[in-house]
Amino acid sequence: MRDVNAKTRRVTQQPRAAVETRTGAEAQSGSGAAAVLRRLAVPGGVLAAVVGAFAYVGAVDPNQPGHYPVCPLLRYTGLYCPGCGGLRSAHAFVHGDITTALTDNAAAVAGYLVFAVVWSVWVVRSVQGRPVRIDPGPVHLWAVGALLLVFTVVRNLPFGGWLHP
């Protein structure tokens, strides 16, 4: 047993100089430009995907029939879901027509803005080498669900015609 313990101690002990030179975030993720670029790879990939999707929707007009599928809820029931008008809203948003984007789907425009804020926080924290912690509690999730439910109900009532896409 003593040989195993002595062997384990030799393997697990590191030179003191190596332990002292790297501390905190540097020890976990490295430092320098290469480490920062490595940490920005995922946020950059997500941004590239979102920009690509918005570029496609901006180039292919959803107001022209045949390019995108019709919402099944709208087709079969005549009711607008919370996402109805989202593509038209994104198209108007890409072209800088914010009032039309809000008219087509105000909830989607709010979602674009929330995404921009969350993505910006993600990038800043990634550059700093800190983890991103988005942990909405049940109250937040229920509040978002309630807002989307109210939005859906109001846009389908006669006085909510201004929310129709």
Sequence-separated contacts (24+) of 128-133 with Cβ below 8 Å:
128/25, 129/25, 129/26, 129/28, 129/29, 129/35, 129/39, 130/25
Q: Is the pLDDT of residue 21 over 60?
A: no
pLDDT of 50 higher than 70: yes
C-alpha to C-alpha distance for 80 and 75, rounded to whole angstroms: 9
pLDDT at 17: 45
The per-residue pLDDT for range 128-143, each reduced to its tens digit, is 888 888 888 999 999 9
Give the confidence band of 82 by pLDDT, cuts at 50, 70, 90. confident
Task: Flag whether the pTM goes above 0.85.
Answer: no
Predicted confidence (pLDDT) at residue 11 exceeds the cutoff of 60: no
Instruction: Categorize the per-residue pLDDT at 26 as very low, low, confident or very high, splitting at 50, 70 and 90.
Output: very low
Q: What is the pLDDT of residue 159?
A: 82
> What is the C-alpha separation between 126 and 48, in angstroms, rounded?
17
Q: Which of 139, 153, 130, 126 is nearest to 44 (CA)?
A: 126
CA dist 76 and 131 (Å) reads: 44
Tokens 């029939």 sit on residue: 65
